[in-house]
Chains A and B, each alone.
Chain A
């Protein structure tokens, strides 16, 4: 019996046009199916339908038939449907209800009425399976994001469900956390579980999936085996869904007429297949080469959190960031990125050293002066929405700084237009999409025109197009207004494509600083902080391309055609 059969399924939220229509999908036993699509296309909604959340928990107009293990989900309760399914969503924080890890994992089995001996076996088995026996007695809110998500996976695995529904489980994790969770998903796939997974980083689960289903415009646009995806490149480009960089590179080289085989997503494998390609030398990237005056000067700052944490978060950081440049700060969680950003913005006072903006010490500034000098956009846009409607939220900051309403409105209009929010200025901010709220958070700070703008993870949960749009906007601010933009991010392809400089932190120390083209060369050094260069840059490292390609287009430009000799390498 197939675990999931969707027959002509459609869904509309009350009062809204249909989000899904004519969805036909069958997931066979033991299959691993990846569900991809642009932001807002209904991927999570489709998972909710498979899990029985729709129609039992979330209401709306559901049409067609949904069968899970042969049972029509309309005809049974959510509790009974869920008994055979393990569901993991994006934010682990919303899936942990107990304080101690062992209680969390045991909870699902308690609810199913397992005997104590069975619960003990299930608990030990789940801890072993996901390689987390050391977390057994830990407090859940003290764990890292990756550890939390593995606990959630274990808690879903322990009652031995037959089907797993995974909704972008790595999207809110740092590289090491995502890697830990992916190892867990790999173990699930290898042990024959049926998995339907929404994953924005297809590259990461490439080796696990049997089929990829592309959801676009409310319906399934493509359902194809993984190894045939590169034949559908145009469909993916049209849907604005990225294929793994090197898979796409291979497809585009072939489309150009080059005779290259299907490339794997890993740079080592692809480099072997492309080692005979001719590499055309091009002029070096001059993004960061023009001399500009220093705007932010960080001198030997160190910071240790007070007890009981006592973590040495920053150790002797020295940094100079020019005016009008975009700096990407990278590193695994706990490497000191956010602490550095808080010291730069004056929210934390370093134990030693100083941070100066245009020569002024940020610690000597008042709250208002700091807000006007160093803008800080936090990771979650929902924490920064204070007023209704959108335009009022934007003028709130300038008016706090003493601007007249007319002046604040004038600035707000300019920023809202630049961020494509002017048309929605009268809406409640929470009616905007996540991408819209993220742009609003940036607008609310950018409107105060601080010389330095710090943005924590500006592209979390955004699709490729939205991510590039936000980063392009930040680059425009740097180029046109002369602001220094500092972006904390885990998205290396965005750092490569948009940042002039990058700083890699590891255990509170700055281990690399410079233009991305230079920093991405030392992969061994970056591995210490779980940073991997974009696949095309890593390929460039292996093929000795000069300068290193930072985007897919760079790589296409430099791979000139078949030859037995690598020119300029």
Chain B
């Protein structure tokens, strides 16, 4: 099982794309998911894309899918019972309270649930196929100061470590007889989160101090001290395929938006 949002470290078509291309793709995809009438198609298309273009089967990121499932189900249920208008596929009377489950509610709920799932999945695609360093350096190329871009990339590199640390703390809590972090009861779960925040937070503070010192010792501030520019050994540059794909993404978005404005084919 891969921790959530961890880079997969493979070599594939999606991995080789420039992070900026993938970022444009994700943004366009998010907007497109609001334009098309059947977002579940996009959801499964994205799973297929991750599988066949990045070589990552769903078994490697199923924790994310499992995490999304209750949220998607909850959104659907809320809409089923809140949206009125027939046809109703289930009704019940509890005294003065009239409860009914509407088919339009089911439709809207499923659409919203899958839209949310699609968005999360798009970010997962980005995170699993984009090396944090490249992401940081591409932002540096777009004008972000080096230290900010590097720290941004480093924070992403640190994320799986913190996630692993959280799992260890969860096991340590169980060893002390507390199952709080696995509980579905919010009155048990949230105090458990607060309890686990102590070792997690203090560990993170200690780690960040050690890391900051190690960075200083490896010369993070040397270019400023010496007044010499920093050399990037592995530069990030857009390839023709990146530019083509960016154009296709933006073009598709504009085209769909145009179709939506000019015809009744897409929902408003």
Residues of A that sit less than 8 Å from B by CB: 51, 53, 57-58, 77-80, 82-83, 85, 87, 89, 91, 93-95, 97-100, 102-103, 106-116, 119-120, 123, 139-142, 155-156, 159, 306-309, 342, 345, 347, 367-368, 370-372, 375-378, 380, 382-388, 396-397, 400-401, 430, 444-445, 448
User: Number of residues in B with C-beta < 8 Å to the partner?
Assistant: 62
Contact check, A114 vs B231: say whether CB atoms are below 8 A apart: yes
Closest to B195 in A: A386
Contact with A along B220-242 (1 / 0, CB 8 A): 11111110111111100000000
9 interchain residue pairs of minimum CB distance: A400-B177, A111-B219, A371-B177, A113-B228, A94-B210, A106-B233, A397-B176, A367-B179, A376-B175
| The one of A102, A306, A382, A445 that contacts B175, using a Cβ cutoff of 8 Å | A445
Question: Are A102 and B234 also in contact (CB < 8 A) when A57-B213, A378-B175, A382-B206 are?
Answer: yes
Taking chain B's interface residues, is the majority helix, strand, or loop, or is none over half, making it mixed? helix
Find residues 112-132 in chain B having any chain A CB closer than 8 Å to their own CB. Answer: 131-132
Contact with A along B194-220 (1 / 0, CB 8 A): 011011001100110011111111111
Contact with A along B171-199 (1 / 0, CB 8 A): 11111111100100000000000011011
Task: Point out the residues of chain A lying under 8 angstroms from B225, CB to CB.
Answer: 77, 79-80
| Closest-CB distance, A97 to chain B (whole angstroms) | 5
Question: Are A368 and B216 also in contact (CB < 8 A) when A114-B231, A378-B168, A382-B206 are?
Answer: no
What CA separation (Å) do A95 and B154 show in the bound complex?
A: 12
| The one of A78, A79, A116, A382 that contacts B199, using a Cβ cutoff of 8 Å | A382
Residues of B that sit less than 8 Å from A by CB: 1-2, 7-9, 57, 59-60, 131-133, 150, 153-154, 157, 160-161, 165, 168-169, 171-179, 182, 195-196, 198-199, 202-203, 206-207, 210-226, 228-234
| The one of B133, B157, B233 that contacts A120, using a Cβ cutoff of 8 Å | B233
Task: Point out the residues of chain B lying under 8 angstroms from A123, CB to CB.
Answer: 233
Contact check, A386 vs B199: say whether CB atoms are below 8 A apart: yes
Contact check, A108 vs B198: say whether CB atoms are below 8 A apart: no
Contact check, B1 vs A307: say whether CB atoms are below 8 A apart: yes
| The one of B131, B165, B173, B231 that contacts A115, using a Cβ cutoff of 8 Å | B231
- What are 23 A-B pairs at a CB distance below 8 A? A51-B217, A53-B216, A78-B217, A79-B220, A80-B225, A82-B217, A82-B222, A83-B219, A87-B217, A93-B207, A103-B133, A111-B220, A114-B231, A116-B233, A123-B233, A139-B7, A141-B160, A156-B218, A307-B1, A308-B59, A382-B203, A385-B202, A397-B177
Task: Point out the residues of chain B lying under 8 angstroms from A85, CB to CB.
Answer: 217
What CA separation (Å) do A140 and B153 show in the bound complex?
A: 14
Task: Point out the residues of chain A lying under 8 angstroms from B57, CB to CB.
Answer: 307
Task: Point out the residues of chain A lying under 8 angstroms from B211, CB to CB.
Answer: 94-95, 97
Contact check, B223 vs A113: say whether CB atoms are below 8 A apart: yes
Task: Point out the residues of chain A lying under 8 angstroms from B133, CB to CB.
Answer: 98-100, 103
Task: Point out the residues of chain B lying under 8 angstroms from A97, CB to CB.
Answer: 150, 154, 157, 211, 214-215, 218
Task: Point out the residues of chain B lying under 8 angstroms from A448, CB to CB.
Answer: 176-177
Task: Point out the residues of chain B lying under 8 angstroms from A306, CB to CB.
Answer: 1, 59
Contact check, A103 vs B177: say whether CB atoms are below 8 A apart: no
What CA separation (Å) do A368 and B174 show in the bound complex?
A: 8
What CA separation (Å) do A160 and B74 show in the bound complex?
A: 59
What CA separation (Å) do A309 and B60 show in the bound complex?
A: 9
What CA separation (Å) do A113 and B153 show in the bound complex?
A: 21
What CA separation (Å) do A115 and B231 show in the bound complex?
A: 7
| The one of B8, B165, B199, B233 that contacts A119, using a Cβ cutoff of 8 Å | B233
What CA separation (Å) do A83 and B222 show in the bound complex?
A: 8
Question: Are A103 and B234 also in contact (CB < 8 A) when A142-B9, A386-B199 are?
Answer: yes
Contact check, A110 vs B230: say whether CB atoms are below 8 A apart: yes
Contact check, B219 vs A108: say whether CB atoms are below 8 A apart: yes
Question: Are A385 and B176 also in contact (CB < 8 A) when A83-B219, A116-B231 are?
Answer: no
Question: Are A347 and B228 also in contact (CB < 8 A) when A79-B222, A112-B222 are?
Answer: no
Question: Are A384 and B199 also in contact (CB < 8 A) when A113-B230, A141-B161 are?
Answer: yes
Closest to B234 in A: A103
Task: Point out the residues of chain B lying under 8 angstroms from A111, CB to CB.
Answer: 218-220, 222-223, 230
What CA separation (Å) do A82 and B217 show in the bound complex?
A: 5
Contact check, A139 vs B9: say whether CB atoms are below 8 A apart: yes
Task: Point out the residues of chain A lying under 8 angstroms from B177, CB to CB.
Answer: 367-368, 371-372, 397, 400-401, 448
What CA separation (Å) do A155 and B178 show in the bound complex?
A: 42
| The one of B1, B198, B216, B231 that contacts A113, using a Cβ cutoff of 8 Å | B231
What CA separation (Å) do A372 and B213 show in the bound complex?
A: 41
**Given A140-B157, A371-B175, A385-B198, 15 more contacts at CB 8 Å?**
A79-B222, A82-B216, A97-B150, A97-B154, A97-B215, A98-B157, A99-B132, A120-B233, A139-B9, A155-B218, A307-B60, A368-B177, A382-B199, A385-B199, A386-B173
Contact check, B210 vs A91: say whether CB atoms are below 8 A apart: yes
What CA separation (Å) do A383 and B172 show in the bound complex?
A: 7
| The one of A57, A142, A401, A430 that contacts B202, using a Cβ cutoff of 8 Å | A430
Task: Point out the residues of chain B lying under 8 angstroms from A103, CB to CB.
Answer: 133, 233-234
| The one of A89, A99, A119, A400 that contacts B176, using a Cβ cutoff of 8 Å | A400
Closest to A376 in B: B175
Contact check, A106 vs B234: say whether CB atoms are below 8 A apart: yes
Task: Point out the residues of chain A lying under 8 angstroms from B224, CB to CB.
Answer: 79
What CA separation (Å) do A140 and B225 show in the bound complex?
A: 29
Contact check, B176 vs A110: say whether CB atoms are below 8 A apart: no
